[in-house]
């Protein structure tokens, strides 16, 4: 594979991943959101990251978490409303898990599992 073909292949994978992450974050919200409200989405870009490094995967994970919180409405939930808080947390967890599954990075998946087990 030539250098140009490799670069094009890498660009395609990253672009596909961006679309997949967007779709995952939309899908996670639909289970929690009111049916009358349109589904919200946030795109998570990662073409600028080196996913072979821990730092690149950590940055992407933080972006995914921030996008999930935005899509699921974390900032608008009153933590005294336990049902709404639980729904938001479930939405967030599902969005993060689905997004991580869509990225072809074992390091990202390992980081996700580590964060799940550490609380």
Q: What is the reported pLDDT for 17? A: 54
Q: What is the reported pLDDT for 4? A: 44
Name which residue leads in pLDDT, 1 or 60: 60
Name which residue leads in pLDDT, 119 or 117: 117
pLDDT of residue 86 exceeding 50: yes
Question: Mean pLDDT, to the nearest integer, of 58-87?
Answer: 90
Largest CA distance in the chain: 58
Q: What is the pLDDT of residues 19-56, one digit of tens each?
A: 456 545 554 554 544 555 666 778 899 999 999 999 99
* pTM attached to this predicted model: 0.70
Give residue limits of the domains in the chain. 3-118
- Measured between alpha carbons, how far is residue 2 from residues 9, 48, 104 in Å? 10, 21, 22
- Residue among 119, 6, 106, 117 nearest 57 (CA): 106
């Amino acid at each position: 594979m030539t250098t140009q073909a490799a670069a094009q292949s890498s660009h395609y994978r990253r672009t596909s991943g961006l679309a997949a992450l967007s779709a995952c974050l939309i899908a996670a919200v639909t289970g929690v959101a009111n049916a009358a409200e349109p589904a919200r989405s946030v795109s998570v870009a990662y073409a600028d990251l080196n996913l072979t490094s821990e730092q690149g995967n950590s940055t992407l994970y933080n972006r995914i978490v921030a996008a999930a919180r935005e899509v699921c409405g974390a900032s608008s939930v009153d933590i005294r409303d336990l049902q709404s808080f639980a729904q938001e947390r479930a939405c967030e967890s599902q969005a993060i898990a689905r997004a991580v599954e869509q990225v072809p990075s074992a390091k990202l998946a390992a980081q996700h599992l580590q964060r799940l087990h550490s609380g």
